[in-house]
Amino acid sequence: MGRIFEVRKHTMFARWDRMAKQFTRIGKEIAIAVKAGGPDPATNPALRRCFQNAKSVNMPKDRVEAAIKRAQGKEMENYDEILYEGYGPHGVAILVETATDNHVRTVANVKSHFNKLGGTLGNSGSVSFQFKKMGVFKLKPEGLNMDDLELELIDHGLEEMGEGTGEHDEPVIVLRAAFPDFGSMQKALEEKGITPISSEIEWIPTSTVELPEEQAQEVLKLVDKLEQDEDVQKVFYNLK
């Protein structure tokens, strides 16, 4: 087991703004999960995953409960999940996951961010081939025998396992499974009594681009702008 491959992290905008954005993102994920599978986490694995992720960013319980209640209301917006693809400055590949109730607004905003900050929005398939869609689980390392766990999870879709860092730079164990095996991996962990710190669907770059610091900051400026957009859920990129 070694240190798992991770792309560069950045914290370019204020901590409280980042926290508010995380709460909004998870609130939308809760709404989508409840609409698709109902409000009972016992029968809705997607909602259980949302609860784990809410806890990982210290989202208050009352905000989680309010998001569930809103999702059950007739006035709740229906969010569509749309993936946008493009290139940032210096040829860095970027994927932008959105959840939106207004396609026209979202594509206009995303395109504007790319254009203003040295990037180009591309067509579907123009960038995603450089990434692999995977389920990513982060676990607390305490009390886990890594060799035994790796052997037990291989049959449930485990492809990569290694050390990484959590939301607050704490050491974590990172598991990666192909997207179709996400549910199998989630179920296997639950059956073993292991509650992940977080479990996400992520686009993992198959290779990375290394840039001088000044050029890298140009890319991160675009990533930061995209992340702050109200319709954007997550941004993935292949900057090392």
105, 87, 84, 108: which is closest to 96 by C-alpha? Answer: 84
- Starting at the earlier edge strand, list the strands of the sheet with 232-237: 120-121, 80-87, 93-100, 232-237
Q: Specify whether 184 is located in the same domain as 85.
A: no
pLDDT at residue 165, as a whole number: 85
Within a domain: 102: yes
Q: Specify whether 116 is located in the same domain as 217.
A: yes
Within a domain: 28: yes
Q: Specify whether 94 is located in the same domain as 199.
A: no
Query: For the chain, what is the domain count?
Result: 3
Within a domain: 121: yes
Tell me the mean pLDDT per 10 residues along the chain, length 240. 62 62 93 94 94 92 93 83 98 97 97 98 96 96 92 95 85 95 95 94 95 96 94 95
Q: Specify whether 222 is located in the same domain as 124.
A: yes
Q: Specify whether 231 is located in the same domain as 124.
A: yes
3-state DSSP call for residue 120? strand
Q: The whole model's pTM is what?
A: 0.90
Question: Is the Cα torsion angle 230, 231, 236, 240 positive or negative in sign?
Answer: negative
Within a domain: 2: no
Q: Specify whether 175 is located in the same domain as 136.
A: yes
Q: Which residues on adjacent β-strands are paired with residue 12?
A: none
pLDDT at residue 168, as a whole number: 77
Q: Specify whether 100 is located in the same domain as 218.
A: yes
Q: Specify whether 85 is located in the same domain as 170.
A: no
pLDDT at residue 77, as a whole number: 77
Q: Who contacts 143 (Cβ-Cβ below 8 Å, separation ≥6)?
A: none
Domain containing residue 124: CATH number: 3.30.70.980
Within a domain: 25: yes
Within a domain: 18: yes
Question: Is the Cα torsion angle 89, 95, 101, 103 positive or negative in sign?
Answer: positive
Answer whether 185's CB lies under 8 Å from 150's CB: no
Domain containing residue 66: CATH number: 1.10.10.200
Domain range enclosing 37: 14-72
